[in-house]
Amino acid sequence: MAAAGAAGVYDHLLKLLLIGDSGVGKSSLLLRFAEDKYDEQQLSTIGEGLDTANEGVDKQNHAGVRFLVVDGVRLKLAIWDTAGQERFRTLTSSYYRGAQGIILVYDVGCRETFENCSHWLQEAERHGTVPGSIKMIVANKVDTTRVVSTEEGRQLAAQLGTLFVETSAKTSANVQKAFEELVTQTGGDEVFLYASQILATPSLLTNTQPISSSTIAVTAEDAIDDVPGGASSCSC
């Protein structure tokens, strides 16, 4: 996947949200995607954003940025982290408002975080995400001992009508591809290009000032590979 275009130049902005229980690795996923870094000592992001030294991360707004080029259309992904507020159930409508993509994360080693997924999706829908927004369940921490099987995750995604990917922020397995899947999904005999759906719907588009970050090109042929085999009370 080759770099394409000048960083900071884009045609449209897509707002993506990372939601899920505390400790499932949302901030680690954001840091890995935005900067290809992993901090073993990183704690839950209560009241603070990511390191300002990371040029792909906006500390004040708890947001990471990446640029994708989909069939020649330059998209800026602004990925918003909850900054630890999920521990106190304090996420407000302003956080969800205008989101075109929802990334719902659970920890494969903590069943409680898996069981809370339905609640988080209901919260997102209740608080006013964009109609027709793309939703994905991300099963994170596949590098650890799991208690939630891949099949259970797939069944939940099918039940809730979402995409499904397994990842490891620590090893970087499928992290970039998970975010790419929000705009390009390849499955079975059909190719669903979600960017086309978004670009064809004016209500799904917004504009903002560009932030410097990296740019990668994505096409409909880029597919995802499966990885083998309130606040949570788990030691996540």
Written as tens digits, the pLDDT of the chain (236 aa) is 333 445 568 887 788 889 999 999 998 999 998 889 998 776 554 333 333 333 444 444 456 888 878 777 787 888 888 766 665 555 667 778 888 888 999 999 999 999 999 999 998 888 766 777 889 999 999 999 999 999 999 999 999 999 999 999 999 999 988 988 876 643 333 323 444 454 444 444 443 333 334 444 443 333 333 333 355 667 55
- Measured CA to CA, the distance from residue 222 to residue 224 in angstroms comes to 7
| Contact by Cβ (8 Å): 164, 144 | no
Q: What is the CA radius of gyration of the chain?
A: 16
Q: List the beta bridge partners of residue 15.
A: 78
Do 201 and 85 meet the contact criterion of CB atoms below 8 Å apart? no
Residue boundaries of the structural domains of the chain: 12-216
What CA–CA distances, in Å, run from 135 to 104, 111, 210, 211, 230?
8, 20, 25, 25, 20
**DSSP symbol at 52:** T
In this prediction the pTM is 0.73
> Hey, is 94 helix, strand or coil?
helix
**Fold of the domain built from segment(s) 12-216:** Rossmann fold (3.40.50)
